Amino acid sequence: MMNFLKISISKTRLLIVYTSICFLILSSFGYAWGFYGHRKINEMAVYCLPGEMINLFKKNIEYISQHAVDPDKRRYATPFEAVRHYIDIDHWGDNPFEDVPRNYAEAVTKYGICYLVNGVDSTILDFDQSLESKSFQERKKFIINNWLPQRYEEMPIYLCDSLIKYFDFKSNQCSQFLFEDVFSTFGILPYELESQQRKLTDAFLNKDAEKIIRVATDIGHYIADAHVPLHTTENYNGQMTNQDGIHAFWESRLPELFADSEYDFFVGQADYVLDKKSFFWNIVEESNRNLQKVLDVEMKIRNEYDQDKQYCYEERLDATIRLECSEYAKEYHELLGGMVEDRMRGSIKSIADCWYTAWVDAGQPDFDKVEIISEEDEIVNKAFDLGKIFGRKH
């Protein structure tokens, strides 16, 4: 006998399951690294490339820099974009870097929840509580074969008969089968980086110059996001510690004030990356190691600095905006001890490494004659101008 746990008898629950797949969470305005930071990081990465491949990138440096913020704009066009920019790694327990599988399908399998809808009264049964559900490997097979290909549609519904090979249930106890992706909601950044790297290598293999530049520009954005400590936590805008606004303060305000005058952006030649998975996860882990300091230092100055001198008002594009005053920002910047510059330099070097690695993995194709890519993405720009974002704003 199967022993399902009955978790609900109402159809409301079904609705909640359907809608909980995505994007909730809101906070105040901001872009990772700001427009300025992302553009500068992508631009500087071009100068780290070796002579044989720099031609293609240099000719398109304007595009690579200007479009460095396209992935952020895309969050206004699709609900599935936001999760690619972060991973709330601390959501997954005390030792998340050991516990969270680094294979995406395994992570989704580990944390996802399966539901059966009872054929008789539409009761939703939490299938995961069933002691007779098949092994992790069988479930992973289901994720790879059935769920992954459909994940960009709404929460898929499966007919039970077709899934008996993956799970133990009797068809008379089940009319529909649902899978709730509990994992991706908390961010998929390192997995996205691996997939973008494969895309870039494929574009090089096909010698598709337009695609190379587009994907290289995008991966630059995601790698830069991965270097931001606040992109690795549920407390991404200090909202859990009464530090609202810290996100834009750290990653937009500080670079805007100090990068041009104080930072050294020359980081040397790109290196080949052998183990991509570890490379991307190490970036996230290092960002996360810096997180406590980002929060602690801000808390210290917030409490100790003269309240009246913390915020100033500036006119920008005919609007008055409230920003951290430059003296106050300077205090934060100095107490962080070069962290923002380090993370920006790290972003530039890592981006160049990934571009170079994709080119090497594709057999170092030649790009003597290359066109300048200039096409704009109309749909994305239109959605961005409308200003309605899907998911969180950081």
SS3 call for 366: coil
For Zn ion, which residue of 39, 85, 140, 343 counts as binding (CB under 5 A)?
A: 85
Let me know: does 131 contact 16? Beta carbons within 8 Å: no
Structure tokens at 347: 């972003």
The reply to whether 225 sits near Zn ion by the rule CB under 5 A is yes
Residue 151, CB half-sphere, CA atoms under 13 Å: how many? Answer: 23
State yes or no: residue 39 binds Zn ion (CB under 5 A): no
218 binds Zn ion (CB under 5 A): no
Q: Cα 315 vs. chain centroid, distance in angstroms?
A: 31
- Of 32-40, 150-158, 247-255, 306-314, which segment contacts Zn ion by CB under 5 A? 32-40
Which one, 37 or 112, has the nearer CB to Zn ion? 37
The residue count for binding Zn ion (CB under 5 A) is 4
One of 70, 72, 218, 324 touching Zn ion (CB under 5 A): 72
Strand intervals (E) in 104-256: 113-117, 124-126, 157-159, 176-180
Q: Which is closer to Zn ion, CB of 143 or CB of 223? A: 223
- Regarding 324 and contact with Zn ion (CB under 5 A), the answer is no
Q: Does 32 bind Zn ion (CB under 5 A)?
A: yes
Q: How far apart are CA 149 and CA 155, in angstroms?
A: 12
Nearer to Zn ion, 146 or 235 (CB): 235
Nearer to Zn ion, 247 or 345 (CB): 247
Could you tell me the smallest distance in angstroms from the CB atom of residue 124 to Zn ion?
A: 35
Residue whose CB is less far from Zn ion, 333 or 392? 392
Distance CA 54, CA 99 (A): 40
Min CB(4)–Zn ion separation in Å: 41
Task: In angstroms, give the least distance from the CB of 249 to Zn ion.
Answer: 16
Q: Half-sphere exposure of residue 44, counting CA atoms within 13 Å on the CB side?
A: 22
Q: CB within 8 A of 258, min separation 6: which ones?
A: 329, 330, 333, 340, 341
Residue 252 or 290 with smaller CB distance to Zn ion: 252
CA dihedral over 104, 105, 109, 110, signed as positive or negative: negative
CB of 240 to Zn ion, least distance (A): 21
Q: Are 24 and 88 in contact (CB under 8 A)?
A: no
Q: What region, left, alpha or beta, does residue 94 occupy, with left being phi > 0 and alpha being psi -120 to 50 degrees?
A: alpha
Residues that bind Zn ion (CB under 5 A): 32, 72, 85, 225
